[in-house]
Amino acid sequence: QQPVQSPQAVILREGEDAVINCSSSKALYSVHWYRQKHGEAPVFLMILLKGGEQKGHDKISASFNEKKQQSSLYLTASQLSYSGTYFCGNSGGSNYKLTFGKGTLLTVNP
Amino acid sequence: DTGVSQDPRHKITKRGQNVTFRCDPISEHNRLYWYRQTLGQGPEFLTYFQNEAQLEKSRLLSDRFSAERPKGSFSTLEIQRTEQGDSAMYLCASSGQTDTGELFFGEGSRLTVL
């Protein structure tokens, strides 16, 4: 089943924080986060594995609650370059076949 | 440029025509994937190759769709007798032998069926 993302869209001013949520109705093996800018390819942000640690780089981090089958992406002190559509994808046991959510459109304004 | 490249980037065709898309993955990557993306949606898995072997096909891939990766390098995705519902962005991705989970996507081939 397709994971459900919320919110569908969010508008921020530069420097503000945002949280994007991703939930699934089926047991998750891993959660994958990608960002896609308009007209460009999706770009990998991070993967969270069942039983793994919270991941992050720069001011973007994520958590994975296996019990609730949820993941959240945290964007801290957002920059203009963070604008884009964020997708979470889940896999049932292998990393090649991902089911992506509909995405969250993030707009960061000056 | 050593990323995933796709050709053509845009294709406009009439209903009923056949179209073929090509994907050149990152050279050392043995895994290749095709996804389809429509407006307002995330990418949908179509098929997966490990080297030249097609290991899985989605139910979305009707018998009008065929994908090949003859020498384990580039791949082609052919759509026969196109329908308006085939209009979408067709994304190719590749990944290496080390299963980091990271997919490297190409910029896609946009198909418009009139």
Cα–Cα distance list, B18 to A24, B41, B89, B111 (Å)? 37, 25, 16, 11
* Rounded Cα–Cα distance for residues B84 and A59 (Å): 42
Of A40, A44, A97, the CB nearest to B45: A97
pLDDT in tens, B15-45: 999 999 999 999 989 999 999 999 999 999 9
Tell me what pLDDT residue A89 has. Answer: 92
Count helices and strands (H / E) in chain B: 0, 11
CB-based contact, B31 to chain A, within 8 Å:
yes
Tell me what pLDDT residue A30 has. Answer: 85
A91 in Cβ contact with A29 (< 8 Å): yes
Tell me what pLDDT residue B83 has. Answer: 96
B68 in Cβ contact with B22 (< 8 Å): no
pLDDT in tens, A45-58: 988 887 666 666 67
CB-based contact, B109 to chain A, within 8 Å:
no
Whether residue B96 has pLDDT greater than 80: yes
**Among candidates A1, A5, A14, which has minimal Cα distance to A62?**
A5
**Minimum distance, in Å, between the CA of residue A4 and any CA atom of chain B:** 11
* Rounded Cα–Cα distance for residues B4 and B23 (Å): 7
- Tokens representing A84 are 């884009």
- Whose tokens are 């090509």? That residue is B22
**Minimum distance, in Å, between the CA of residue B100 and any CA atom of chain A:** 8
DSSP-assigned letters across all residues of A49-82: ETT---EEETTEEEEEETTTTEEEEEE-S--GGG
B46 in Cβ contact with B67 (< 8 Å): yes
- Tokens representing B100 are 């980091």
